[in-house]
Structures are given as structure tokens and as C-alpha cells.
Amino acid sequence: MNIENRTLKRQRNSYLPKSPYDDIVRIKTERKGMGKLKGMLILFVALLQLCVLATLHTLVAVAFQSYLIISVVLDVFTCLYILGSSKNGRSKAVWIMLVLLLFPVGFLIYFLSDENIFFRGSRRRYAAVLRSSQGLVSGCECGALPPVTAQACSYLKNVTGYVPYKNTRSKYFPSGAQAFDDMIARCAEAEKFIFIEYFTVAEGVLFERMLEVLKDRAAAGVDVRIIYDDMGSSGRISHELKKQARAAGIKIYAFNRLVPLYKIGMNYRDHRKITVVDGVTAYTGGINIADEYVNEKRMYGYWKDNAVRVDGDAAQGFVLMFLRQWEFVTKRPFDYAPFLNYHDSVKKCPEREESGQGVFLPFAAGLEYRDPVVRDMYANVISHANEKLYIMTPYFVPDETITDLLASKARSGVDVRIVLPGVPDKKYVYLISLDNADKLTKSGVKVYTMSDAFVHTKSVLTENCAVIGSANFDLRSFFQQYENALYTDDKSAMEGLALDFEATFPECIQRQYMRARSGVLRSLLTALLQIFAPMM
């Protein structure tokens, strides 16, 4: 290949001033904070409402002293209520502190933010969806399983109803670009339905590519459905494009539409990443449908992500996951059977013959379950690691359970490694992530940051199994968001992820414990941010 070094006409004007930009080279698609304005505005309006309410309440309390006394009593009772709630310890501590600090309106703010009161309707609706869709998928008879897999299977079956599968072939993609190329090609072959559920769906080259294929398939009679999160896609997908998609026969819905009201439900987002084609093929991972995920747009350096494709029975788990969310979003019950049974009616499923012996366990987590499924699954995986434990995550703000487990594993001689981004997307979360990770280095955990890259991969690998999905190692993913992931002990997926880790380590810088070197201001800021970590 030769360099085509054409000298084209440069219209240089000597009278023009010098540019104020410092950089020698600037990528024109390099934009930061895209689409945040709408979300910020809504948050501002919601907080304004809360402030007005709090001010009015304070005025009443000041005017009537007896009411002030009642407020104090209510604050105390609220603290007792928080102590007795099922929140994690850190959240309890932060809320109690806030209730006492914000006297006399603390109890009011807490109850307006209590999901048990103001999210009850959604919970009830979700419970109905779960009840009606119970037992629709049967999974496989797995026989004697390794302890970690057996425990994961029974936990998920009892808590979420998701079941394990065999007869599945997997393919691991170490980048978003590879995953989307494969996904688009697979979507182009769809015959019956394509289900897409992502936190971020953003206009751009990637979405244009996908939309071309989806329009084409919809025109051919394929049932195409898309769910996107309204906050994750805020300002990044135009009404015009949605209209265009709907006109082409694509059903597209937003999850939890943003409204300028102080509503606790606004905090709970659909962070899942799922594509299912014909109930035979499914994709999941850290990827979203936006140009930065395939490095077509520059946001925070190189965008490191991953995904896994499963062909075979395990895709059924993802179909069920999507259909439940679809029913919740559209608020219209429907029959799941045509979508779940379509897989069995497919005559030719070559993957069945080629499948490995591993177990595939797709699972979803979210507010519909009382248990923190993601946290418990990670805890199960970590506690069974005896040789190696590799974690890649963009945010590292776990609770004490995970932190203690990681520290104890590292002290027991397990090779614990955590890969974090070298370039942050949210600086305040990055400060906390580094602080949390650095503290673990004292226990022998090796912490790496990938140079010039934003690591968005969310995966765990041990010698026994792998978890690949949408769930970060942070409190939002553990307790507040709708997440999904694939647990597997399949050799092919594990090898793919292991190779990815091995290829990533040389691109990273290993961090040393540097608390003594971080300045007083940084330490203070980190401590302050740590207070609000459960809300980040």
C-alpha cells in the first residue's frame, strides 16, 4: 500500500489570525458533555421544586413552634426508620446524616425520596409482569455443576427466575467496533424479530448503519423493537429520527421518560445492553449504540469496551428479559409464547452441534427484585476465586461486602487485578474510584489504569467463570439500576475474555498506593465525594 500524498489546494489566508487552540491536531468529532443539557435542566428544575417545598416547610415550622418540635420528633423517627430499612450500611449513614443536617426538612426530603413509597406503583406493575411471565423458559438439566455455577444457578432461579442453559455457542468481542460489525451483519439476516434494549441510543454513523438494516428488515416483515433509556439517550436522539424509525415500522419506546418533577423514579435507569435476533442469537456487554463505542467519535481517548454473542438456547433468557421490560414500558400485557417458542421452531440451528459444554446463565437485575442481584452475583463469583480474579470496570465504588471480599482474596494469595480507565468521563466518580482502588492495593490488589483510554468494559474473570454485561462495580449498578449480564463457565467465552485481559495489561500503568502523596485538598475532596458515593 502506498501513501497517497496528494497536495491539494490549501486556501491559506495570511491575513487571518492564529487559532486560539493549543492542540496541534484536533478531531472534529471530539465533543464532551454531549446531550447532558436536557438532563441537567430537568435535574435543576426538580431540585428547585424540592428547595421551594423545603423553604415553605421551614417557614411553617418557624411560624408555629409546636410544629418545629413535631419536625424534630419526625426527624428522629425517620432516622430510626432508616436504620431499620433494607438499605445498605453506607446509604443508611449518608441518609441519617442528611436528615439530621437538613433539620427541620430532613424527614420530608427522605420520604419524598423513598422508593418504598414513591416507587411502589412501578414495583407492583413489575411484580405483575414477573408473575405472568414465570416459568415460560425451562433452561437445561445441568447435572453436577461446579460449586460456583451451582450456587449462581440456584440463586438466580430463586431470586429472579432466570435459568441456566447449555446448547449454546459463544463468541467474545474485545471491542465495540467488532461487536457492532457482527451484530449489524446478524441483524441483516433476521427473519422473525429483532429486540434492542440499550441505555444509550445516539444519532451518528453507527446508529445510521443499524437503522438502515433495521428499516430494511422491518420492511421485510421482521418485528423490530427498541427500548432506550431516556436519560442515557438524553439529547442524543432526535424526534425526527424516532418518527422516521416508527414510519419504517420499527417500534421504539423510551424507558422512564424524563420529566421536570422531583420524582425518585427518575433516579432508576435502564442500563441494560441487549440485542436479540430471532431468539437464536443474543448480544450483551458494555456497549451502547453511540459512535464513541466504536471509536467513530472521540470522547475520552480510546474507548475500550467489550461484548459477547451467544447463539443457541441461552438467547431465550435474553428474549424473556427484553419482553418483560417491553411489557413494563408499554404497559400492555401480551403473549410471550410466539417469541419464546420461535427458537424451537427454527429448523436449522448449527450452533447446537458446535456448542461447548459450558453453562450460560443470562440474568437481569433491577428494582423489580428485592435483592441486589448484581452485587450478590459478583460476591458469589469473587468468593469462589482461588487462583485469579480479574475485574475491568469504568467505575469502582463498591460496597463493603465486595471491598472486604476483594481484600481478603488478595491477602489469601489470589491474583486480584482491577483495570480502570486512564482517562475519566466523570472526574468526581474517578476520584472516588481511584481512592477505593488505591486503598485495596495495601491488601495486595493490583490496580491498573489503561493509558489514553476510557475503559467501559464491565467484566469479571476467575479461573472458574466469567461475568460479562452492563453492570459496573458501583453502588448504582448494585442497587439502583436495571442491569443485565451473562454468567458463564464456557471455555470459549472465558478464553476470549482472558485474552482481552492479557492484551490490556501491557497497555496499562500499575498504580502504587499513593495516599501519602495525594494532597490535603484532594484528600478532603475525596472524603466529601465519598459521602455522596451511594448516589453517584
Residues 296-325 contacting another protein, CB under 8 A = 296, 298, 301-302
Length of the chain: 536
Q: Which CB atom, from 129 or from 420, has the smaller least distance to another protein? A: 420
Site for another protein in 399-438 (CB under 8 A): none
Q: Which stretch binds another protein (CB under 8 A): 157-165, 273-281, 362-370, 451-459?
A: 451-459
* Complex with another protein: residue 29 or 523, whichever CB lies closer: 29
Ramachandran quadrant class, 95 (left: phi over 0; alpha: psi -120 to 50; beta: rest): alpha
Residue 502 lies near another protein (rule: CB under 8 A):
no
Choices 6-14, 82-90, 95-103, 426-434; region in contact with another protein by CB under 8 A: 6-14
Site size with another protein, rule: CB under 8 A: 48
Task: Establish if 507 lies at the interface with another protein (CB under 8 A).
Answer: yes
177: number of Cβ within 10 Å: 17
Interface stretch with another protein, choices 338-346, 354-362, 403-411, 447-455 (CB under 8 A): 447-455
Nearer to another protein (CB atom), residue 181 or residue 415: 181
Q: Can residue 4 be called a binding residue for another protein (CB under 8 A)? A: yes
In whole angstroms, the minimum distance from the beta carbon of 295 to another protein comes to 4
- Alpha-carbon distance of 170 to 111, in angstroms, equals 46
Binding of another protein at residue 174 (CB under 8 A)? yes
Q: Is 144 in the site for another protein (CB under 8 A)?
A: no
Q: Which region, judged by CB under 8 A, interacts with another protein, from 170-178, 339-347, 467-475, 527-535? A: 170-178
CB 532 within 8 A of CB 94: yes
User: Closest by alpha carbon to 255, among 278, 227, 217?
Assistant: 227
* DSSP assignments along 384-419, one per residue: T-SSEEEEE-S-EE--HHHHHHHHHHHHTT-EEEEE
The answer to whether 19 contacts another protein (rule: CB under 8 A) is: yes
Binding positions for another protein, 94-123, rule CB under 8 A: none
Of 451, 450, 448, whose CA–CA distance to 510 is shortest? 448
Non-local CB neighbours of 466 within 8 Å, separated by 6+ positions: 459, 460, 487, 488, 489, 493, 494, 497
CA 346/CA 192 separation, integer angstroms: 10
Smallest separation, CB 163 to another protein (Å): 34
Q: CB of 189: closest distance to another protein in angstroms? A: 13
Given 69, 452, 502, 509, the residue binding another protein (CB under 8 A): 452
Cα 126 from Cα 129, distance rounded (Å)? 5
Q: Which residues contact 413 (CB under 8 A, 6 or more apart)?
A: none
Of 300 and 378, the one with the shorter C-beta distance to another protein is 300
What does each C-alpha distance from 484 to 30, 34, 266, 338, 362 come to in angstroms? 30, 25, 19, 23, 7
Peptide bond into 333 cis (omega under 30): no
Query: Is the C-alpha dihedral spanning 462, 466, 467, 469 positive or negative?
Result: positive
Tell me the one-letter amino acid at 262.
Y
Q: Which stretch binds another protein (CB under 8 A): 13-21, 128-136, 137-145, 195-203?
A: 13-21
- Find the binder of another protein among 202, 419, 453, 529 (CB under 8 A): 453
- Cα 304 to its chain centre, rounded Å, is 15
Does residue number 331 form part of the binding site for another protein (CB under 8 A)? no
How many angstroms separate the CA atoms of 274 and 316, rounded?
12
The smaller minimum CB distance to another protein, of residues 8 and 337, is found at 8
Q: Which of 235-243, 307-315, 390-398, 448-456 is the region at the interface with another protein (rule: CB under 8 A)?
A: 448-456
Q: What is the 3-state secondary structure (H, E, C) of 277-316?
A: ECCCEEEEECCCECHHHHCCCCCCCEEECCEEEEEECCHH
Site string for another protein, 201-240 (x = CB under 8 A): ----x--xx--xx--x------------------------
Q: Which among 144-152, 175-183, 224-232, 356-364 is the span making contact with another protein, rule CB under 8 A?
A: 175-183
Which range, of 16-24, 84-92, 239-247, 508-516, touches another protein by CB under 8 A?
16-24
Cβ proximity to another protein: between 171 and 298 the closer is: 298
Residues of this chain that interact with another protein (CB under 8 A) are: 1-6, 8-19, 21-29, 174-175, 177-178, 181, 184, 205, 208-209, 212-213, 216, 295-296, 298, 301-302, 451-453, 507
